Structure formats: C-alpha cells, structure tokens
Structure 1
C-alpha cells in the first residue's frame, strides 16, 4: 500500500502540472481565436456589441484576470466543460475529442498491443535461439523500423489500395453507411482500419523484437538462469519463467510510454489515410487556430500518458517486487 500511495501522490502532482501547463501554453501562443471569429463575422456584416465577451464564454476561454481565468478553467474541467470548437462551431469540444479518441483507440491501441505482443514473442524466441537462422529476421524487421511511417503508409496505399485494390485507400468507414452498431458499418470500419493497422504493426514490431532479443541474450548469462538450467528444468520453463520474465522489464517501461501515446494517434499516418482519429483532429485544430479543441486534445493526451504510466508502474511492481523496496 505504501508503494501504491507514493505512486498515486507522484501522478497526482504530475496531473496538476499538466493541467496548469495546458491552461498557460495556449495563452502564450500568438493570436486570439476570438479575434479570428470576429474578423470572419465582420466580413459578412456588423458585429454586435459584447460579442467578443460572449464568444470567450462559449469557447471556454474565461474572462477577467489571469487568476480568475485559471479558477474558471479548473471549474470547467471539474464539470467536463471544455468549451465549443472553432473548427466545427458550435460543437462541444468534449464530443469531438470523445469521437476521435474512440477511433484512435480502436485502431492504434489494437495495433500497438499486437506489435508489442508479436515483437516480445519473436524477440524471446530469437534471443533464446541466438546464433540460429531465426536471427535473420532481426535485420529485416530493424530495417522496417527505420522506414518513416508516412513513407511506408504511402507505399502500402499504392500497392494494396491503388494497384491491387484489396483495401480502401482512405477514411474510417464507407460514408454511404449509417453510423451505428450494425453489421454493415462494423464490417466497413474493420476493412478501412486494416491497412493503417498493418502499417503501424510492420513499422513498430522490429523495435520490440530487437530490444527483447538483446535483453534475452544478456539475461541468459545471469547466474539464476544458469542455475535453473543446471537443476534440469525444461527449456520452455527456463525461457519463459526465468529468462523472459526478467528480460521483458525494460520493454514494459517502453510499452507504458507507447500505450500512453496511443491517444495521440499517428498524426502523419492518419493524414495519409484520412482516418478520423485524434491525430487528424489535432491537425485540423492547429490549422484553424482552434485553441479550445487543442486544449481538450492535449489534456486527453496528458491524462492518457499519465494513466498508462501509473498502471504499468503498478504492474512493474507486481512483475519485479524489488521495485517496491526502492
């Protein structure tokens, strides 16, 4: 319990810092979203008196002194009010972020889990059978990891969407279908997500494989692994319980960061496939100087990263009880 309490205290402070930075950073960026909307309104007619103040309240930007705005901002967060989006005015920011996070979690979350599981499994086997023919897959997967996401995405679109027409080239689903939990829509969403998911898995599995393989090679030289082999334990048990369990610890830490950043999506990848995820939404928010939407996205990203790291820290303590003593 003491270990859990320390971790919770640390992450609560980190969350408060993230919330505070999320409040101040947009106010340090040059430009005023209200001025942008007012200038657009002036092009079509006169602007009513007091329109600027009303827009600030609608957008969740607050009014008065900076301290007063900070208090209003904290009160809005407590009630999950993030203001209205400029990009899709007057849609609430929380609705846009919720929709985009759902699409990103389905695509990037599953792809990240699959690439991690596949990379760890292949790394465990190649490290255990080091020097065998299995080592030949390490350079190939490492090369794919070095290839930029967008280049690999464009290549796969050209081959599988344009040339062979196996998968759709863009979008998250067929726009002719009604959005809902029905067979036609779910089938279309899966079909549209396969090519982006393959891109993410192919581009990231090599990093997990290489890291796990190198840690396995180092772990196999440890005394406790040698002692387990000397006891006559089966190779599978030595590999899984003694070697892999300890070799995977650095990868678990890296996975915490990766799973936290799942919420960000892959901005360039989502642009290539025009996928309706957080990355695409963030790009649109920056283009339109949509500060309320940017704040909502950054806050979702911050809490996703902190939450993922907290869970993995607690899991780390279960995998390696020695960390609880630190």
Structure 2
C-alpha cells in the first residue's frame, strides 16, 4: 500500500509542477493574445478600453491583478474544466475545440500505436526465441522504416497507394460529400477507410523498434538461470517462452509503451499534416502559427495529463507483473 501511495503522491506533485509551468510559459513568450484578438476585431471597428479589459478578463490575462491571483484563478478554471477562449476560433472555447479534435487523434494514433506494439512484441518474442530464423533476419528491414524520415515514408505511401493505385483516399478523416457524421455504419466505415493509410504509416515506422527491443530482451532473458531450470524440469517450450521468458522480457517495453500511449493524445503533427487529418496535432500547429496561447495551454495540459496518467497506470501494472519493484531498496 505504501508503494502505491508514494507513486500517487509523486504524480500529483508532477501534475502540479506541469500546471505551474503551463501557466507561466505563455506569459514568458513574446506577444500578447489580447493584442492579437484586438487586431482581428479592429477590422470591424474601433476597440475601446472597456472592450480590451473585457477581453483580458476573458483570456485570463488581466494586467490589473497580481500574477499570483492570476495563477490561483487559472488553477480554479482548470479544475472547473474551463480552459479559456481560443483566439483562432473565437469565440469558441478551448475545451470544445479539444473535444472535437481529440477523438480523431485517439482513434487513429491510439489504435495504430496499440497494433504496432502488440504485433512488434509478438514478432520480437518469436525472433528472440528462434534466433537465426528468417524472422530474426527480417528485423533490419523493419528498422529501416523507422530510420527513414517519417514524412518521407508518409509521402511515399500516399503517392503509391493513394495516387497511383488509388487504393486509399488522399486526405481527410471521412467523405464529407456523401457521409454525415453520426453513429452509422456509413460514417464509421468511411472513417476506417480514410484512416487506414495514416495508420499503416505509423505501424510501419514504429513496429521495428518494438521488435528489436523485445528480441534483444528475449535473448538476454533466455540466458538466465531460471530459464535453464525450467528447461531442466521438462516444461513445455511454449510455456517457457511465454510464462517465463516473454513475461520478464516485456517489462522494459511496457515503460516505453506507456510513454508512447501517453503521447497518443498529442497526435502526430506530420501524419495529420501530410494526410490532412483532423486531429489534435493539426489544432496544435494552428495554435502555434496563430499565437493562440489559450489553445496551446489547453492542448499541452491535456498532453501532460495523458502522459502522467499513462505512466502512473503502467507503474501500478508493473508492480503487479513484477513484485520485485514493490520491495524497498
């Protein structure tokens, strides 16, 4: 119980530090979101001082209040779920924009990350168990896809499978001309069809790392004494491979998977830009280009929470898989 309590306290402190940093970083950056918004509104007419003060209150940058009071107001707004108003999509709330973009990113990047991890771990397990086989010799080919520039691989697949063969669509998250968003099979199938090529790009570029890491850990684990003991007892080779070797070899990969799973929320800006996919990565790029500090703050906050949550979950699962981690040094 003490182990789990220490972990929870650590991540609560990390969350507080992330919230604090997320509050001060935009204020240290050059520029002012109020001035940017006023420049947009001034095209429709003159902006008075009272209007400017109202915009400062709305964006949480009231210059009349001390920074500490602004910080407390920011924490209160975050815990209420109020992340402010977006300058780029004014007067839309940041929460609404993130809520619209996040399901697209989780559906695409999340599914592709889980698929690449599961397939990579299983293939790496087999490659490490059968060293020198064709699967073991195939690993350098998979790592080649990870070594090439990500955008280059996306463009190559888009050119051959999307443009030349026309097996997949070139852009978009669904067919906006013939399908209406909703819980219908026509919309779901269109989303799967449009997300297949971006997902394939993510799987090809990441599966090699999971395979190589699992394969090397399997080779190292198979030389341990408890594996030799299990073989001497006459246990079935499949049981030795899965229950003894793979269970211990997969532990380092779980930590890497936690980080990857946490960053699923951040999306892949390159993927979403190449395929014109409507996700959180595209929203983040738009926010950076437009100096939309409220939207940037909101997206960074969601990314931070997802990474911390994923790492906390894996730390707790890690302790269940390997009880040695709960033992105090």
Alignment-derived partner of residue 285 in structure 1:
287
CA distance in structure 1 between the partners assigned to 2:134 and 2:80 by the alignment: 58
Q: Secondary structure at the match of 1:50?
A: helix
CA distance in structure 1 between the partners assigned to 2:314 and 2:181 by the alignment: 34
1:14 aligns with 2:14: yes
1:232 aligns with 2:211: no
Greater CA deviation, 298-307 or 80-89?
80-89
**Do 2:60 and 2:70's aligned partners in 1 also have CA atoms closer than 8 Å?**
no
**Counterpart mapping for 1:291-306 below 5 A:** 291-306=293-308
**Counterpart mapping for 1:22-37 below 5 A:** 22-37=22-37
TM-score computed with the length of structure 2 as normaliser: 0.97
**Runs of 4 or more off by more than 4 Å in structure 1?**
none
Alignment-derived partner of residue 155 in structure 1:
156
Residue correspondences, number = 326
CA distance in structure 1 between the partners assigned to 2:182 and 2:58 by the alignment: 30
TM-score computed with the length of structure 1 as normaliser: 0.98
What's the offset of the Cα at 1:62? 4.5
Alignment-derived partner of residue 71 in structure 1:
72
Cα deviation 1:262-285 (Å, max 9, x = unaligned): 001111111101111111110000
What's the offset of the Cα at 1:48? 2.4
Cα deviation 1:150-203 (Å, max 9, x = unaligned): 111111110111111111111111122221111211111111110000000010
**Do 1:61 and 1:292's aligned partners in 2 also have CA atoms closer than 8 Å?**
no
Alignment-derived partner of residue 254 in structure 2:
252
**Counterpart mapping for 1:192-231 below 5 A:** 192-231=194-233
List gaps (5 residues or longer) in structure 1.
Answer: none
Cα deviation 1:132-152 (Å, max 9, x = unaligned): 222121110111111122111
**Counterpart mapping for 1:159-174 below 5 A:** 159-174=160-175
Q: CA RMSD in A?
A: 1.0
CA distance in structure 1 between the partners assigned to 2:116 and 2:42 by the alignment: 51
What's the offset of the Cα at 1:121? 0.1
**Do 2:7 and 2:312's aligned partners in 1 also have CA atoms closer than 8 Å?**
yes
